[in-house]
Amino acid sequence: AQKITQTQPGMFVQEKEAVTLDCTYDTSDQSYGLFWYKQPSSGEMIFLIYQGSYDEQNATEGRYSLNFQKARKSANLVISASQLGDSAMYFCAMSSLRGDTGRRALTFGSGTRLQVQP
């Protein structure tokens, strides 16, 4: 079974500062993927960044970077230069990669609500 833990129910950050959202995971699978999604109040889940378990480098996408520490089973999201529009719920998720049928469905954490203050 897979499990995602997000221990920060809410976070505040000042505009233009960096913020780290924590995510730890548990799985017995050797091959898996880690995702971060943003969910604004409108409800849509917006894909931010992906990290494969065998990727040697940490993933980056613009202002988003994923601090992947495999031995510690953590996949923290770092948002640099926060903007007011970054205020939203952020979900960490993972899926296993099965050789025969490809990616299994995502398992999500409980989320972190980020509020960016001017």
Partner 1 sequence: DTGVSQNPRHKITKRGQNVTFRCDPISEHNRLYWYRQTLGQGPEFLTYFQNEAQLEKSRLLSDRFSAERPKGSFSTLEIQRTEQGDSAMYLCASSLTRASGNTIYFGEGSWLTVV
What is the contact surface with partner 1 in residues (CB under 8 A)? Answer: 4, 33, 35, 37, 42-47, 50, 52, 91, 93, 95, 101-111
Instruction: Count, in order, helices (H) and strands (E) of the chain.
Output: 0, 13
Which two three-digit tokens encode residue 21?
A: 């959202």
Output 27 or 107, the one with its CB closest to partner 1.
Answer: 107
The least CB distance from residue 67 to partner 1, in Å, is 18
Output 78 or 89, the one with its CB closest to partner 1.
Answer: 89
The least CB distance from residue 11 to partner 1, in Å, is 15
Output 15 or 61, the one with its CB closest to partner 1.
Answer: 61
The least CB distance from residue 108 to partner 1, in Å, is 3
Q: How far apart are CA 59 and CA 14, in angstroms?
A: 24
Pick from 69, 93, 65, 90: which is nearest to 79 by CA? 65
Three-state secondary structure readout of 50-96: EEECCCCCCCEECCEEEEEECCCCEEEEEECCCCHHHCEEEEEEEEE
Q: Which residues pair with 66 in a beta bridge?
A: 77
The least CB distance from residue 59 to partner 1, in Å, is 10
Output 1 or 118, the one with its CB closest to partner 1.
Answer: 1
